[in-house]
Chains A and B, each alone.
Chain A
Amino acid sequence: QQQVKQSPQSLIVQKGGISIINCAYENTAFDYFPWYQQFPGKGPALLIAIRPDVSEKKEGRFTISFNKSAKQFSLHIMDSQPGDSATYFCAAETSYDKVIFGPGTSLSVIP
């Protein structure tokens, strides 16, 4: 039972382009939505996060858009760079600390 859905599974973007990854959830008990970035051979690391009372959060080239009524959220990476090539996981968390991850998106940014 997949509580957090994520698409696409893989994404290839040209350098300087915009990378967009979409996620959806069902459980309305989720109240925090982090994104994690994972490089090969490493564990995931927190990239950016948003609460459902906010529709957008921006940190540098990374922006989360959140649509509470549709139970959807997305990550936009502006001016994508080869160094952004990694696997990205959206996640959802309840107030008691349990973090559920989406299946992940493998992003490749080509020069």
Chain B
Amino acid sequence: DAGVIQSPRHEVTEMGQEVTLRCKPISGHNSLFWYRQTMMRGLELLIYFNNNVPIDDSGMPEDRFSAKMPNASFSTLKIQPSEPRDSAVYFCASSSGGRNSPLHFGNGTRLTVT
């Protein structure tokens, strides 16, 4: 079991640039979540998908953020244009989607926007 795979592990970019974070969920899981972790705000749920369909995107901070899940094995989180305040660790998690099924997190992408 490869677990949830995120890429890249680290991303350093300049303000104004486009950033794309990638996630491969565990095979067979049909729910996928994007979280952002900062010291100030902790773990924030940005968006989650069920069967590739966005269910709740109320946590997406601004229109600069967008997420897609074109198929069951791939999701992206895009920030365009990026700003220094977007610097954080971004986690992707997946679950089997059954009631109260545990979240399986990837190891995150540490984003630094200068």
Interface size class, chain B: 20 to 34
The stretch from B12-20, B65-73, B104-112 touching chain A is: B104-112
Please state if B48 and A44 are interface contacts (CB–CB under 8 Å): no
Decide yes or no whether B84 CB sits under 8 A from chain A: no
Decide yes or no whether B87 CB sits under 8 A from chain A: no
Which of A32, A51, A103 lies in contact with B42, CB distance below 8 A?
A103
Closest to B33 in A: A99
Looking at chain B's contact residues, is the secondary structure mostly helix, strand, loop, or mixed? strand
How many residues in A have their beta carbons less than 8 Å from beta carbons of B?
23
Chain B residues near A32 (CB-CB < 8 A): 99-100
Chain A residues near B31 (CB-CB < 8 A): 97
Please state if B100 and A98 are interface contacts (CB–CB under 8 Å): no
Please state if A95 and B99 are interface contacts (CB–CB under 8 Å): yes
Given A49-B100, A97-B97, is A43 in contact with B107 using a C-beta cutoff of 8 Å? yes
Please state if B42 and A104 are interface contacts (CB–CB under 8 Å): yes
- CA gap between A98 and B49 in the complex, in Å: 10
Please state if B102 and A34 are interface contacts (CB–CB under 8 Å): yes
- CA gap between A100 and B46 in the complex, in Å: 11
- Beta-carbon contacts under 8 Å, A30-61 to B: 32, 34, 36, 41-46, 49, 51
- CA gap between A42 and B50 in the complex, in Å: 24
Chain A window 92-111, contacts with chain B (Cβ cutoff 8 Å), 1 for yes, 0 for no: 01011111111110000000
Please state if A98 and B45 are interface contacts (CB–CB under 8 Å): yes
Please state if A101 and B42 are interface contacts (CB–CB under 8 Å): yes
Binding site for A on B (CB under 8 A): 4, 31, 33, 35, 42-43, 45, 48, 50, 55-56, 91, 93, 95, 97, 99-100, 102-108
Q: Which 5 A-B pairs have the closest CB atoms?
A: A43-B105, A46-B102, A101-B43, A103-B42, A32-B100
**30 pairs across A/B with beta carbons < 8 Å?**
A32-B99, A32-B100, A34-B100, A36-B103, A42-B105, A43-B4, A43-B93, A43-B107, A43-B108, A44-B91, A44-B103, A44-B105, A46-B102, A49-B100, A93-B100, A95-B99, A97-B55, A97-B95, A97-B97, A97-B99, A98-B45, A99-B45, A99-B103, A100-B45, A101-B35, A101-B42, A101-B43, A103-B42, A104-B42, A104-B43
